[in-house]
Amino acid sequence: MEITTRGLWTLIHGMGFGALYLLAGSGALVLLHLRFSTEAQMNVSHRGDRFFGIYLAVMAALGWLTVLTGTYIVYPWYRAAAPAGTANLAGFPRALLLSNPATRQWHSVGMEWKEHVAWLVPIAITMAAAIAIKYGRGLRFHPQLRSALHVFLVTSLVAAGIAGFFGAMLDKNARVEGGQTIHLIQGGKL
Amino acid sequence: MSLQTARVEEDSTAIPKSTVIPNGSGAAAILSAGIGSFAVALFTIVADKSAYAKNLFVLYKPTGPLSGVTAAAILLWLAVWATLEWRWRKRAVALSRINIIAFVLLGLSLLLTFPVADLF
């Protein structure tokens, strides 16, 4: 069982940071609802307030790590130009997708949308984390701030979902592979 | 007095309403996030439509114009945030209007990052 360094970084970017962000996002929505619904407000604790701020800050860190690893580590491998006359485009995912009319739009629509829309995520979640940390328990007195948290959080999840979906489909159609091979488990002879 | 009641009383009096932080800081964060998100979409379109801008946005060659588009949007977002925070941090502002503007900008940025021209 083995994986290439490029494959490993793609995994860290998508299945690691990205998927964790999506998982954490649904949790954040539940937390936001539970902490600030009318009935729940009487039972909130200081520790819970701190936890909510830290939770969103961790999500912000995941959001930044996802876009930074995606943009500056995986994307250059994805968009690397194939030398003229290259017959096997397996190591050049973008060129591979564009070489076939059936897969062309995975790049021209999928990647083009993904690479930009994903950047809305860290902006939205950093704002939400900053507000949660700054206002803490005081958020209960600011329903409009809470509405904004809701809207930005949901939008960040939608954006992350779009990026995640296209990331998975792009990886299915043209994998980012190459670099050193890492042997995870040494296989025996069959 | 039960433990549960004691906790409720303690927590419900933890922040007297008179010492609540004004909404200015939150408004600054919300509006700047809307502007920053919209900037991502706007710079994407500019880089797509102008070859000159596209070259200008190439800050890191392996990533291409995406590096400049996102870096410029992030810098603009942080600059707007810092400016608004400095101006609004001690004020109460009309948050409903700011929310609407920020939500519209956020919605537009979701839509405008979609590469319509590449669909056909």
pLDDT digit string (tens) for A140-155? 889 999 999 999 999 9
Mean pLDDT over B13-42 rounds to: 87
A82 lies within 8 A of chain B by CB: no
Domain span holding position B39: 22-114
The structural domain count of chain B equals: 1
| In the predicted structure, residue A189 carries a pLDDT above the cut 70 | no
Reported as a pLDDT band with limits 50, 70 and 90, residue B6 is very low
Task: Write down the pLDDT at residue B120.
Answer: 58
Task: Write down the pLDDT at residue B19.
Answer: 67
| In the predicted structure, residue A186 carries a pLDDT above the cut 90 | no
A108 lies within 8 A of chain B by CB: yes
Mean pLDDT over B42-52 rounds to: 95
In a domain, B49, yes or no: yes
Residue type at A173 in one-letter notation: N
Q: How many CA atoms lie within 13 A of A41 on its CB side?
A: 16
| In the predicted structure, residue A22 carries a pLDDT above the cut 90 | yes
With CA atoms as reference, the chain A residue closest to B34 would be A124
Nearest to A132 by CA among A66, A54, A45, A79: A54
Phi, then psi, of A88 in degrees rounded to 5: -95, 110
| In the predicted structure, residue B4 carries a pLDDT above the cut 50 | no
pLDDT, tens digit, 9 for 90 and up, residues B98-110:
999 999 999 999 9
Q: What are the beta bridge partners of residue A2?
A: A183
Which of B17, B32, B119 faces A109 most closely, judged by CB atoms? B119
| In the predicted structure, residue B3 carries a pLDDT above the cut 60 | no
In a domain, B73, yes or no: yes
**CB within 8 Å: B110 and A158:** yes
- Residue, of A65 and B6, whose pLDDT is higher: A65
CA A134 to chain centre: 25
Task: Write down the pLDDT at residue A188.
Answer: 63
Which of B14, B29, B36 faces A130 most closely, judged by CB atoms? B29
Average pLDDT value for chain A = 91
- Residue, of B11 and A88, whose pLDDT is higher: A88
DSSP output for A51-66: HHHHHHHHHHHHHHHH
Q: What are the beta bridge partners of residue A181?
A: A4
Mean pLDDT over A40-69 rounds to: 87
Which of A44, A116, A148 faces B40 most closely, judged by CB atoms? A116
In a domain, B82, yes or no: yes
The ipTM, to two decimals, is 0.90
Nearest to A58 by CA among A36, A37, A27: A27
In a domain, B64, yes or no: yes
In a domain, B12, yes or no: no
Nearest to A53 by CA among A135, A132, A145, A138: A132
Work out the minimum CA distance from B84 to partner chain A, whole angstroms: 13
With CA atoms as reference, the chain A residue closest to B64 would be A76
| In the predicted structure, residue B58 carries a pLDDT above the cut 80 | yes
Task: Write down the pLDDT at residue A43.
Answer: 64
DSSP single-letter state for residue B60: B
In a domain, B31, yes or no: yes
Best of A127, A142, A153, A155 to mutate (most B CBs within 10 Å, chain B):
A127
| In the predicted structure, residue B17 carries a pLDDT above the cut 50 | yes
- Residue, of A179 and B18, whose pLDDT is higher: A179
pLDDT, tens digit, 9 for 90 and up, residues B59-90:
999 999 999 999 999 999 999 999 999 999 99
Task: Write down the pLDDT at residue B12.
Answer: 46
List strand residue ranges (DSSP E) for chain A, in order: 2-4, 181-183
Set of chain A residues whose Cβ sits within 8 Å of the Cβ of B29: 127, 130-131
